[in-house]
Amino acid sequence: GINPPYEHEKEEYQQVASDCIWSDPASEEQEQQSVDLESGYGESLRGGGAICFGNKAVTQFLQQHNFSYIMRAHEAHAEGVAVSKEARVFTVFSTSKDHNQGSTAMAGCILVDFEKMQVINRSPAYRNQYIHRRDSVSLQKISEQEIEERI
């Protein structure tokens, strides 16, 4: 969970925060062996009370909140971004230098531009350690018609 917990927060809120941070999508093997068919949840391989969520849990969550996707982090992936649960769950790992992913590990991010998503992976060959500030495209430079089409 969150350590140390805030004294003013109720235990149930602490549990929700912990579940959001440490829960993982179930692997296909977990989905078949340890995910409860009725609830869609099971025990995570992380242990420590963490849970994993299967296809049923993802479907229910997305429908309940009228979402299309779940974007999450906090789980290492050598490719930088992993896609699971019928391409409805994206896991972003934004560092390539951690969690025993090897020398070919990539960092990833997802660019969301109105209704479009683009997965961006940093090549392991990239060596620049400096961040350069660049001007971003502002809405002032986009025509009214293009904005309307994107909305």
**Residue showing tokens 């309307």:** 148
State the Cα–Cα distance between residues 64 and 113, nearest whole angstrom.
24
Under DSSP, is residue 116 helix (H, G, I), strand (E, B) or coil?
strand
Of 45-54, 89-98, 137-146, which range is least confident? Answer: 137-146
Closest-CA residue to 91 (of 101, 80, 102):
80
Give the CA radius of gyration of the chain: 19
The predicted-structure confidence for 44-83, as pLDDT tens digits, reads as follows 888 888 899 999 999 999 999 999 999 998 787 877 888 8
CB 21 within 8 A of CB 74: yes
Q: Which residue has the higher pLDDT, 53 or 17?
A: 53
Mean pLDDT of the chain: 80
pTM over 0.75: no
* Amino acid symbol at 98: D
Residue 85's nearest CA partner among 107, 38, 52 is: 52
Structure confidence by residue, pLDDT tens digits, 104-122: 777 888 888 888 888 888 7
Q: Residue 4 and residue 120: Cα distance in Å, rounded?
A: 35
Q: Are 109 and 92 in contact (CB under 8 A)?
A: yes
